[in-house]
Each structure stands twice: as structure tokens, then as C-alpha cells.
């Protein structure tokens, strides 16, 4: 497995990358590239992989013959790979967040999943931690178009020669310029839509703790600037709005990304309403870590569990109010701005455990009888719900959240009205009084996880979509393209679970 990561202004490889002897280096093109075509640092910079793989003899001087760019690898018909012993090559691209979050976990999980099933996977990882090295104006401009990001991806593609470039996050340092780098090399692009950044500056369609869709159908996101939706800064919000508006205007989303992966059907509908082409948006839930089969029935399972950020939109305040009078422990794992106040005001049976690692959360799930998900906004694909299902935990969730596409009411979980203290108290009282029912729902939740979110279906879902993208590139007939791009990844994901 190959891996690149980045520091300030350079790439580094965490370990050596050996050439693959089964693939000969590509033939140079018959004519030199036209001078001036190509963008970013790769015009004058040596490839970080020179001496390693397909361009092992390349040098900065030799690039001059190609108009300042390295020669493009010769592309074979992608579908021909599947008639031989060669495996699909996938380059995952992701920009990590300063505070580790769900997207980072998904990228690591999907990388391991693809590699475990025999795919040839490489990763190009950038890091938000270097944002502090960039001036505000430079950062704002780079959010719209990053010459550095273009060059990084161009060089990584030249070395790995992938069949698919699968992008997870480009914000803010890589930028959508990387799609143009992939196009220059003839590589199809798949983009997972982890958040709503293409339509909303803060990525959550959330403002002042409430759902907001003011920018959803606007090309120019003026409300985001007016309300300083990104980091409470009008300047920062303007940079994000400029990125979204500019690339919408020049057709980046329509022509430079072969397939967008929405995490659930409702999100798909929102993205289409926000301007993405319907024939290029499929539903594909993320890969989820599997802790293994549910352990034998354990009578020690007791109490409820909340895992998440302690902030207004997560619905903790009405949840804690609803928990008063319920004679059972409620463990709360997480940190956030409401933590100290909620800890002071909560009844004694509510325990605040702070932030925990995945292993700590996993242990808490093993000893709890139900996961509570009282979010006041829609969410996208809450990983904690899928992880609870993997641990054999039923889920009580807000009825207006994305969880309606993940669990089946009355079978693997239940729903209560978001923010309604009385409804939550009634539902909680009924469920906590029936531990036998909770155990039965937990077993069903584990079964649903194995059917829909475990490694085998997750891998097959991704590979089917990759093959469809390659087929559309190899045979770009309009009907075939629409069929390949518009397919819903899993029939069960087209509506509510169950």
C-alpha cells in the first residue's frame, strides 16, 4: 500500500515506494505537450517520485521538452484490467482536519477495506495543520484554486497511475483544482460528499443551532457571508462562498467529477437541489469499522449511552431534561462548549465521561443497552449510529434525522420527536422498562449492520460503482453514462430502512 503525506510546501513519503514489476513504464506521447498548458508547481518542479516508477529517469530538465510538464502515462482501456490478473488501482485523496473527525476515520477504514480485498491502494493525505503557515489572502485564493494542490495530485497520479481517483476532502488547501489535474491525466474522479460544503459555507446546513437552507439553491452564497457562517468570519465565509460559486459557474461539478457519492437518499436529493447533476450522484454509505459479532447475551448491559459533541444542535439539553425521573444511568461521552454547564445541571444518574478513543467508546457500547441520538438537525451519516449497530445496540433517535435511513422503527431502534422532552421521556420510559425487547432489537441491529454496512457489502458497493465509472469512460454513450452514474448503490438505501 502506498502512502504520501504532506508538510509545508513539500510532499514526503512515509515509506519507500517500490516499482511494480507487473506494469511496464508508459510510453511517452508522440508529441510534446503544448507549452503553457498545465497548472501549478508541477510545471517547474521535479516529480517527487522520479527514480521510482514510471518516470524513473525524469528530471526537471527533461520536463522542458513536454512544455514544463512530465509526460502523461499511456492509458489502456480500463475495462481490460478485469480480463487479466491485474487489480484495480485506486488513489485516495484527503485533507485531514485539525481536530480528528468522522471523515478521517472513514478514509482510514475505506483504505484498509479496499487493501484487504486486494485492491492496489495509494493515499495522498494533506493536513489542515499547515493552514497557519499561509496568509489569509493566500489561503482565501487557494481555497478557490490551489496551484500547490494541483501539482501534488498531478505528481501522485504520475507515479501511481490509478484507474480511479477517489477524493474525500479538498477543503481548504487542496481545492477543486485537483479535479483538473486528474482530467489532465485522463483519470476518472469519484468524490464522496461527507458534508454539505458545496452548498453551505459551514458544511452542515446549520445556523444558530437550527437547520438552514438559505444558500441551498443559490449560485452566489450571499447569506453565508452576511451571517458569517464559517468560523464566525465574513472574510472566511466569503472565501468558501467564492469557491462554491466559482466552480459552480465554470462547470467543475458538472464536467470534472465522474460520480458523487451521497451518504443517504435524502442527502442525494439535497445535492441535486443544490445543483449537482442527477445522473452523477449515487448513494453509497461509508465503510464502518466492525468490532466483530455481538458477544453472548450479557445481563450486565444496563443504562443508555450518548456519544458526540456537547453542543446545542446535538439535542443534549432536552435529552437530559427528559432523563429526569428515569432510574437508570446515562453515560455521556464527548466534549464541547456545553459540557461544563450540562454537567452542573444534570441529575445524578447522568455521568459525563469526557472524550474517549474508539476503544473506549467500543467498551462503553458493549456494556450499554441502548444508544441515544437526539440531534436537532438532519446530520448526514452519523457513524456513531452504525457503530452502535455493529456492537448490537438498538438506537433511539430523532425522527427528522438521517437515522431514518439506517434503522427500522420498532425492529432495530425507535424514534422520538426532535427536541420534544415529553415524547423522549415517554419513549425512554417504555424502552428502559423492557430489557428483553432491547436485547432483541440489539440482535436485529447487528444483523442489519452485517447485511448493509459490514465489509463485504461495503466493498462490493464501492467496486460496483468504480466499475460503472470505468465503463462510462470506456463507452461514453449517453444512455450508458446516465445508467452508470445515476444508479443508487444499494436498493435498500433508496428509502427508509426496513
HEC string for 280-346: HEEECCCCCCCCCCCCCCCCCCCCEEEECCCCHHHCHHHHHHHHCCCCCCEEEECCCCCHHHHHHHC
Provide mean pLDDT across the span 218-246: 94
Nearest 5°: phi and psi at 220? -100, 120
The CA distance from 180 to 182, in Å, is: 5
Per-residue pLDDT at 288 exceeds 80: yes
Per-residue pLDDT at 7 exceeds 50: no
Q: What is the pLDDT of residue 42?
A: 40
Q: What tens digit of pLDDT does each residue of 360-408 get?
A: 999 999 999 999 999 998 889 999 999 999 999 999 999 988 999 999 9
The CA distance from 268 to 166, in Å, is: 18
Domain 304-452 - what CATH class? Answer: alpha beta
The CA distance from 252 to 276, in Å, is: 10
Provide mean pLDDT across the span 303-318: 95
Q: What is the pLDDT of residue 139?
A: 80
Q: What is the pLDDT of residue 98?
A: 78
Per-residue pLDDT at 24 exceeds 90: no
Contacts of 132 (CB under 8 A, 6+ apart): none
Provide mean pLDDT across the span 414-434: 96
User: Which band of pLDDT confidence, cut at 50, 70 and 90, is reported for residue 297?
Assistant: low
The CA distance from 357 to 247, in Å, is: 37
More confident of the two residues 128 and 38? 128
Burial of 429 (0-12, 13-18, 19+ CB in 10 A): middle
The CA distance from 63 to 49, in Å, is: 14
User: Which band of pLDDT confidence, cut at 50, 70 and 90, is reported for residue 135?
Assistant: low
Q: How far is CA 73 from CA 13, 21, 124, 305, 423, in A?
A: 21, 16, 19, 52, 61
The CA distance from 105 to 99, in Å, is: 12
Q: State the CB neighbour count (10 A cutoff) for residue 178.
A: 28
The residues spanned by each domain of the chain are 304-452
Please work out, in degrees rounded to the nearest 5, the angle formed at the alpha carbon of residue 195 by the alpha carbons of 337 and 227.
60
pTM for the structure as a whole: 0.80
Q: Which of 11-15, 268-272, 432-436 has the lowest mean pLDDT?
A: 11-15
Per-residue pLDDT at 77 exceeds 90: no
Per-residue pLDDT at 94 exceeds 60: yes
Prior bond of 400 cis (ω within 30°): no
Provide mean pLDDT across the span 18-37: 40
User: Which band of pLDDT confidence, cut at 50, 70 and 90, is reported for residue 295?
Assistant: low
Q: What is the pLDDT of residue 268?
A: 97
Provide mean pLDDT across the span 217-222: 94
Please work out, in degrees rounded to the nearest 5, the angle formed at the alpha carbon of residue 313 by the alpha carbons of 311 and 317.
65
> What percent of the chain is predicted at pLDDT more than 70?
77
Provide mean pLDDT across the span 15-39: 39
Dihedral sign from CA coordinates of 222, 223, 224, 226:
positive
Provide mean pLDDT across the span 334-346: 95
Mean pLDDT of the chain: 82
User: Which band of pLDDT confidence, cut at 50, 70 and 90, is reported for residue 457?
Assistant: very high
User: Which band of pLDDT confidence, cut at 50, 70 and 90, is reported for residue 219?
Assistant: very high
The CA distance from 361 to 381, in Å, is: 18
Per-residue pLDDT at 453 exceeds 90: yes
Q: What is the pLDDT of residue 495?
A: 46
Q: What is the pLDDT of residue 332?
A: 98
User: Which band of pLDDT confidence, cut at 50, 70 and 90, is reported for residue 134?
Assistant: low
Provide mean pLDDT across the span 405-420: 96
Q: What is the pLDDT of residue 208?
A: 87
Q: Which of 99-103, 235-239, 323-327 has the lowest mean pLDDT?
A: 99-103
Per-residue pLDDT at 497 exceeds 50: yes
Q: What is the pLDDT of residue 476?
A: 76
Per-residue pLDDT at 60 exceeds 60: no
206 SS3 class = strand
Q: What is the pLDDT of residue 64?
A: 28
Amino acid at each position: 500500500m502506498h502512502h504520501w503525506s504532506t508538510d509545508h510546501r513539500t510532499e514526503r513519503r512515509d515509506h519507500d515506494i517500490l516499482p511494480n514489476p507487473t506494469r511496464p513504464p508508459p510510453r511517452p506521447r508522440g508529441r510534446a505537450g503544448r507549452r503553457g498548458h498545465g497548472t501549478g508547481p508541477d510545471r517547474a518542479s521535479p516529480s517527487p517520485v522520479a527514480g521510482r516508477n514510471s518516470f524513473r529517469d525524469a528530471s526537471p530538465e527533461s520536463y522542458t521538452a513536454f512544455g514544463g510538464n512530465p509526460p502523461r502515462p499511456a492509458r489502456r482501456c480500463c475495462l481490460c484490467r478485469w480480463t487479466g490478473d491485474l487489480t484495480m488501482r485506486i488513489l485516495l485523496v484527503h485533507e485531514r482536519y485539525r481536530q480528528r473527525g468522522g471523515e478521517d476515520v472513514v478514509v482510514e477504514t475505506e483504505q484498509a477495506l479496499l487493501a484487504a480485498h486486494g485492491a492496489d491502494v495509494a493515499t495522498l493525505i494533506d493536513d489542515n495543520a499547515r493552514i497557519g503557515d499561509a496568509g489569509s489572502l493566500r489561503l482565501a485564493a487557494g481555497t478557490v484554486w490551489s496551484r500547490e494542490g494541483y501539482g501534488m495530485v498531478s505528481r501522485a497520479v504520475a507515479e501511481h497511475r490509478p484507474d480511479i481517483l477517489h477524493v474525500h476532502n479538498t477543503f481548504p488547501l487542496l481545492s477543486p483544482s485537483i479535479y483538473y489535474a486528474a482530467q489532465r491525466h485522463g483519470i476518472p474522479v469519484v468524490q464522496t460528499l461527507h458534508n454539505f460544503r458545496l452548498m453551505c459555507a459551514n458544511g452542515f446546513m446549520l445556523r444558530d443551532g437550527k437547520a438552514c437552507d438559505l444558500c441551498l439553491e443559490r449560485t452566489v452564497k450571499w447569506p453565508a457571508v452576511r451571517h458569517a457562517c464559517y468560523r464566525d468570519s465574513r472574510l472566511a465565509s466569503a472565501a468558501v462562498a467564492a469557491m462554491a460559486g466559482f466552480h459552480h459557474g465554470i462547470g467543475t461539478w458538472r464536467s470534472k467529477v465522474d460520480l458523487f457519492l451521497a451518504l443517504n437518499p435524502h442527502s442525494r436529493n439535497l445535492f441535486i437541489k443544490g445543483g449537482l447533476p442527477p445522473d452523477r450522484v449515487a448513494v453509497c454509505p461509508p465503510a464502518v469499522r466492525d468490532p466483530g459479532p455481538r458477544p453472548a447475551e450479557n445481563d450486565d448491559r444496563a443504562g443508555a449511552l450518548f456519544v458526540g459533541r456537547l453542543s446545542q444542535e446535538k439535542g443534549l439539553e432536552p435529552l437530559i431534561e427528559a432523563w429526569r425521573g428515569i432510574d437508570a444511568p446515562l453515560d455521556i461521552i464527548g466534549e464541547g462548549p456545553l459540557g461544563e454547564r450540562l454537567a452542573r445541571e444534570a441529575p445524578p444518574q447522568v455521568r459525563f465521561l469526557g472524550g474517549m478513543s474508539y476503544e473506549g467508546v467500543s467498551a462503553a457500547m458493549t456494556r450499554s443497552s441502548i444508544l441515544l441520538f437526539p440531534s436537532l438537525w438532519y446530520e448526514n451519516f452519523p457513524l456513531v449510529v452504525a457503530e452502535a449497530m455493529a456492537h448490537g445496540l438498538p438506537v433511539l433517535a430523532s425522527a427528522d434525522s438521517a437515522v431514518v435511513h439506517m434503522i427500522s422503527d420498532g425492529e432495530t431502534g425507535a424514534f422520538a420527536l426532535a427536541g420534544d422532552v415529553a415524547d423522549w421521556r415517554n419513549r425512554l420510559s417504555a424502552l428502559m422498562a423492557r430489557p428483553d425487547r432491547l436485547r432483541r432489537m440489539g440482535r436485529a441491529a447487528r444483523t442489519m449492520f452485517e447485511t448493509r454496512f459490514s465489509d463485504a457489502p461495503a466493498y462490493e458497493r464501492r467496486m460496483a460503482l468504480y466499475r460503472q465509472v470505468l465503463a462510462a469512460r470506456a463507452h461514453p454513450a449517453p444512455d450508458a453514462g446516465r445508467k452508470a452514474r445515476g444508479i443508487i448503490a444499494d436498493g435498500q438505501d433508496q428509502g427508509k430502512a426496513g
